[in-house]
A and B are shown apart, each in its own frame.
Chain A
Amino acid sequence: MHETFEHTADLGLRIRAGDLEALFVEAAQCLFEAIVEDLSTVQPLRRVDIVLAKDEPDYLLFDWLKELLYHFDSEHLLFGRFEAHVTEQGLTGSAWGEVLDRSRHNLEHEVKAITYHGLKVEKTENEWLAEVIVDI
């Protein structure tokens, strides 16, 4: 489950999930929903793999989103489907998508960067909660 929350100049993403891996997948979806109007218009034609070394969960989430954003900005790759596995070694994840096609993809926001401001990943009694503010 994910939603956006108010931040004066930028945009807040709030994500809840049953486990850490689902949290990472939901967070990536939430990020790309902020970029493209309708995520279902993105076809899974190309796969990008992301491997991150072990770190605190908040930094791991930050780096996961940052890497996905890099692929969008440098190669114009939009992603609509994600997988993430968190192990003792860190994170291995994949994202499926395609190159931006303006005739089919309506874009919404240019996310300049993921920020550390108010960055939060925490485990509550029965779920994981993350908050990330992205720079618009």
Chain B
Amino acid sequence: MPKETYHGPLEQVDACCYRIPKSYKPGMRVDGLIFANEKLIDAVKKDQAAEQVANVAFLPGIQHASLAMPDIHWGYGFCIGGVCATDPDEGGVISPGGVGYDINCGVRLMRSNLYYRDVKPHIRDLVESLFRNIPTGVGKSGRYEFRGKEIHQLLADGSRYLLSRGLAEQRDIDYTEAHGKLDGADPDQVSDHAKNRGAEQCGTLGSGNHFLEVQIVDAIFDADAAAVMGLEKDMVCVMIHSGSRGLGYQVCDDALHMLRKAPEKYGIELPDRQLACAPINSPEGVKYIAAMRAAANFAWCNRQLLMQQAREVFADMFGRKWQEMQMNLVYDVCHNIAKFEEHAIGGKTKKVWVHRKGATRAFPPEHPEIPPLYRKIGQPVIIPGDMGRASWVLVGQPGSMEKTFGTTCHGAGRAMSRTAALKDAIGRRIDKELEARGVIARAQSRKGLAEEQPKAYKNVDDVVEVVHNAGLSRKVARMRPIGVIKG
């Protein structure tokens, strides 16, 4: 399946939204809606992502529309940036492809009381030390190992297990989505293969687009919300983007294997095998949900341990305890997940399974699932951009509940394929180019750095502009990277 452009219909609904009518393909149960502006929609047409939005509309029990955020790009099965909600009472299905291999891939942001002027003279040493002390890249084991009863407990209890081991603080739990633990996780539904893959990987960054960045607050757009989060201009923060590592990939793999014959068994017609799914309350559906929740708990532990290691590096570098430097978690939010949530659909309140595949939950002010401190401003949303330009902090807005099942974008979205980015980087030194822009970057793989170069991504500012204007989430602060470590 080589790269092809999309030739199907895309009707403009308003300045921030395009529709693929359900008449496009027989079998579509709802329309497709892509949140994008005129500038971004041209990029959408360049690959098969829009076709994938249409394909997701085939899923039984789908509500309202098959949605895509402005950072949409071609994935496998679901597009990246895809959102779909299914109702168990209407034959709704759960689809591992709608969560992705990297279950609970997500981002966390940690603030500090350091400012750019404090860190600037040490940035090279700091990045070097982070790179030396935090495992990154392919096949790297971490300094933590969880096997037997320990991995069982970790999968069942998520971040709370680390609290009991002295590897997390209560505050870390309070500011993690779902308090770092999804109820109903069943470690017995996670295969030994998956547990073996994860045993030495909790607290490791991984590769691909995952990163740990030292950032500074570059600009503030909502002073009140920024103050509530403890963010100030020029403040040094650490952003961590990683997921459930090999354990989550294997859980997804195992589920897709289990579901190979499920569409036939349940009479579900699908345009792509990667959309394999089963009714939510079927034995297969129940088994996957229990394993997926356990993998999500693993991912929160992974990001927690990455943050702990970063705190230790800072403490060592600046000769002060991390608590003294107020290196506190602002928020941790996932962008590859399926969650059972209450939403108003067609005038009724329903509980539906919201699949977010490369899309971030963005609950508006007063939502009960937001930590009390943030309840007035809305749920913090952390949007990682590329390593040369910017990342963003947003807050959820009421429009997200009305339009997107409480969801916004998750990143910049790729503009170039990996192969194209590599070709583009021939004869260039990406690390030197970044340095000239004021970013010190260290990566295990030269190719990895080339594939992840800033040009390979859309400008995250354009993506954020759309979700801001569409009322899905509001701009709070723009973050600028000064140090990056990658796999």
Contact = CB atoms under 8 A, between A and B. Distances in A.
Contacts of A119: 273
B419 A110 contact: no
Query: Which of B1, B252, B256 counts the most chain A CB atoms within 10 A?
Result: B1
A100 B196 CA distance: 17
B272 A10 contact: no
B115 interface: no
Nearest to A117: B76
Contacts of B276: 116
B407 interface: no
What does DSSP make chain B's interface, helix, strand, loop or mixed?
loop
A69 B226 CA distance: 44
Interface in B1-53: 1-3, 47, 49
Interface string A72-110: 111010000000000000000000000010000011111
Query: Which of A114, A116, A120, A136 counts the most chain B CB atoms within 10 A?
Result: A116
Interface stretch (B117-125, B321-329, B444-452): B444-452
Contact of A74 (B246, B256, B417): B246
A107 B419 contact: no
Query: Which of A5, A11, A112, A136 counts the most chain B CB atoms within 10 A?
Result: A112
Contacts of A131: 1
Contacts of B420: 6
Nearest to B3: A6
Contacts of A7: 3, 74, 417-418
B1 A12 contact: yes
A66 B101 CA distance: 13
B208 A110 contact: yes
A1 interface: no
A74 B197 contact: yes
B122 to A, nearest CB: 27
A23 interface: no
B434 to A, nearest CB: 20
B398 interface: no
B102 interface: yes
A35 interface: yes
Nearest to A120: B1
A63 B199 CA distance: 22
A37 B101 CA distance: 24
A58 to B, nearest CB: 9
Interface string B96-127: 00000110000000000000000000000000
Contacts of A106: 445
Query: Which of A5, A70, A133 counts the most chain B CB atoms within 10 A?
Result: A70
Contacts of B416: 8
B77 interface: yes
Interface string B414-435: 1011111000000000000000
Contact of B138 (A109, A115, A116, A120): A109
Contact of A109 (B1, B74, B445): B445
Interface in B430-483: 444-445, 447-448
Given A6-B420, A109-B447, 4 more contacts: A66-B253, A74-B199, A76-B141, A135-B101
Interface of A: 4-12, 35, 37, 59, 66, 70, 72-74, 76, 100, 106-110, 112-120, 131, 133, 135-136
